[in-house]
Structure 1
Amino acid sequence: MTLTSGRYIGHEYDRMIVLFSMQDGGKEIPCAISTTAMDYLERGPQVRPEQREAQFVRLRDRIEARAASKYRATELEGDPRGIVLRGIDFRT
């Protein structure tokens, strides 16, 4: 049960999330991360909406590592079942 990179889907401004996916073999796993969590990871000022994709790419390794961890722990939610990452998921 190893997740690999999927695709960047997009930024939903109204919901303040970035949607992406990861792959478990041939199965696509829907994922989302809050924009607040991404800003927390960069520890800088909030980026503009048109900069969210570039921010996601910069943080992709850390985001996907945490998503894989939640997947292994079967911490899935929503319908369809997927991974939701929030700022608290990155606090140590």
Structure 2
Amino acid sequence: MAFTSGSFHRYDEDRSVVLFSMIHGHTEVPCAISSDAMDFLDGAKRTSPAQREQQFMRLRASIETRAERKFENAEMEGKPAGIILRSIDFR
């Protein structure tokens, strides 16, 4: 079953993560990526909250590839279970 793009939800400034989803079959899988991870991927330092959605969209292919790998390896976290990407996931 394919793991495909879902939706960009929002930047959660309190948690410093971008919330998004991926789709597996007919199931939406909640996902998050830390702002540190996106800055690491982008070679940036402290991107402003207003620019997080644009940054996510620019990096989306790399982010989703890593999310898919974590999903395939059953590296789900939290309740409800989802994918959480951190800068260490891109090193």
- Per the shorter chain, which TM-score range? over 0.9
- The question of 1:43 aligning with 2:49 is answered no
TM-score, length of structure 2 as denominator length: 0.97
Letter in 1 for 2:58: R
Extract structure 1 runs of 4+ deviating beyond 3 A. none
The unaligned stretches of length 5 or more in structure 1 are none
Task: Give the aligned partner of residue 9 of structure 1.
Answer: 9
The unaligned stretches of length 5 or more in structure 2 are none
Q: CA deviation digits over 1:26-53, x for unaligned, max 9?
A: 1000000000000000112221101000
- The number of residue pairs the alignment matches comes to 91
- Alpha carbon RMSD of aligned pairs, Å? 0.7
TM-score, length of structure 1 as denominator length: 0.96
- The question of 1:59 aligning with 2:59 is answered yes
Residues in 1 aligned to 2:5 and 2:42: alpha-carbon distance in whole angstroms: 21
